[in-house]
Amino acid sequence: MLIRLIYTTLLALLSPILLFSLYKKKPHKPAFGSRWKEHFGYTPTLEKNEQPLWIHAVSVGEAIAATPLIKALKEQNPSQPIVVTTTTSTGAEQIAKLGDLVDHRYMPIDFSFAVNGFLKAVKPSKLLIIETELWPNTLHSVGKANIPIYVVNARLSEKSCQGYAKVQPLFTGLSKHLTKVLCQTQADADRFERLGINKERLYVTGSIKFDIKISDNIKQQGTGLRNLLGNERPVWIAASTHEGEDQQVLDAHQEILKVHPTALLILVPRHPERFDNMFELTKRSGFNCIRRTSNENITEDAQVYLGDTMGEMLVLMGAADVCFMGGSLLGDKVGGHNVLEPAALGVPVVIGPSYYNFKGIVEELLLEQGILVCKHKEIHNTVSQLITNKNNCSAIKLAAQTVVQCNQGSLKRTITLSQ
């Protein structure tokens, strides 16, 4: 197909830049080592008798979202082999926490030769794509091999929908290979339909992120951390912040300290390569900052606690009184992050005005008064009021937990429809 040939040519021209970004060494980013070859289809075979189920979760966020699905699938059929692909090494690190439940391979780059090399080595029976990671050559090669393709927990923002519409012939060519698209909301399904996907292949299953289960171990670790931070002082967390947001959060904390002099901010940048820079930024901004990795005693005069580790977000959230969710102060650049994790933990959530990636979820929480949305100049007032007004804090917490509980069941629907 001509349109796919044009796409492949453009991808080949851009691939040096994409690969440089992927392989560039960054602080706290795991190295690919010799496994970089897997991106080009040189994939180690699986020592399995049965064909594996293939789940693709591009990076950390998708890997976390896929985890309850993987556990549920293994609980249903313990002998079913599962291979999980990620594109990034940080995603691979997250999947490694599942231990022997799955095998991990790196996702081949979207060239037919690389995808075909992967398929020859792995021989998957089915592909489940987490959220919306649709690559034309991958879908063409997998579809040509008669392997069913399911997009699960699918979401499509209005911005992404308009982007796909600009290359409608390319999207039409790739979408014909999709067996089913299991959407988070009706709005997502409507957008996929606008792009030409047949209604018979569209299902609304809800978000599997609502089926989050917080283990007792995580809760205990959160309580233990709070004991170390100080039970008598106010503690709030700014989770998954991006470049450009950190200073706004620190400015808000400066104001909060005027009202609550002993308050502590747990600052958790989204990307690990920014940990060192954030430590320097807090020091330059005049804060007494302690890094989690330093294992220093958290003294009463500590003002910022830098969460410079990976995979501990739930523990850090569990130690806080209030959670501000990052990625929501940068206009159209990011579109927010998952607000359900703190909600499930019983931590009141504050988010900025840009949350299009979780629009349906945030709107449902807003409807039940289970979340607060504010501009960056309002963060300090909003957080301060939640710290001061325990009754309001408890009401928001209860409303959010009720919304989470009422929306659970997506995992079961997803597994049923992807059989």
Task: Say yes or no: 377 and 279 in one domain.
Answer: yes
- Tens of pLDDT along the chain (419 residues) come to 688 888 899 999 998 998 888 888 877 678 888 899 999 999 999 888 899 999 999 887 788 889 889 999 999 999 999 999 999 988 898 899 899 999 999 999 999 999 999 999 999 999 999 998 899 999 999 999 999 999 999 999 888 899 999 989 888 888 899 999 999 989 999 999 999 999 999 999 998 988 888 889 999 999 999 999 999 999 999 999 999 999 999 999 999 999 999 999 999 999 888 999 999 999 999 999 999 999 888 989 999 999 999 889 999 999 999 999 999 999 888 888 889 999 999 999 999 999 987 888 899 999 999 999 999 999 999 999 999 999 999 999 999 999 999 989 999 999 999 98
Task: Indicate whether 15 belongs to any domain.
Answer: no
Q: Residue 182: enclosing H or E segment and its boundaries? A: strand 180-183
DSSP category for residue 128: E
Neighbours of 178 (CB within 10 A): 22
Domain that holds residue 145: 22-211+409-417
Task: Say yes or no: 199 and 240 in one domain.
Answer: no
Task: Indicate whether 9 belongs to any domain.
Answer: no
Task: Indicate whether 2 belongs to any domain.
Answer: no
Task: Say yes or no: 184 and 76 in one domain.
Answer: yes
For residue 117, report the phi and psi dihedrals to the nearest 5 degrees: -65, -40
Task: Say yes or no: 117 and 67 in one domain.
Answer: yes
Q: Which letter, b or e, does each residue of 136-150 get, where b requires 16 or more Cβ atoms within 10 Å of its Cβ?
A: bbbbbbbbeeebbbb
Q: 21: buried, middle or exposed (CB in 10 Å: 19+, 13-18, 0-12)? A: exposed
Q: Quote the pTM value.
A: 0.75
Task: Indicate whether 11 belongs to any domain.
Answer: no
Task: Say yes or no: 68 and 154 in one domain.
Answer: yes
Active site residue 62: yes
Please work out, in degrees rounded to the nearest 5, the angle formed at the alpha carbon of residue 196 by the alpha carbons of 194 and 202.
Answer: 85
| Given 47, 50, 62, 378, the catalytic residue | 62
Tell me how many domains the chain contains: 2
Task: Indicate whether 3 belongs to any domain.
Answer: no
Task: Say yes or no: 182 and 322 in one domain.
Answer: no
**Which of these, 271, 269, 276, lies nearest to 89 by C-alpha position?**
271
Q: How many residues does the chain have?
A: 419
Task: Say yes or no: 344 and 371 in one domain.
Answer: yes
Written as one string, the DSSP assignment of 239-273 is EEE-TTTHHHHHHHHHHHHHHSTT-EEEEEESSGG
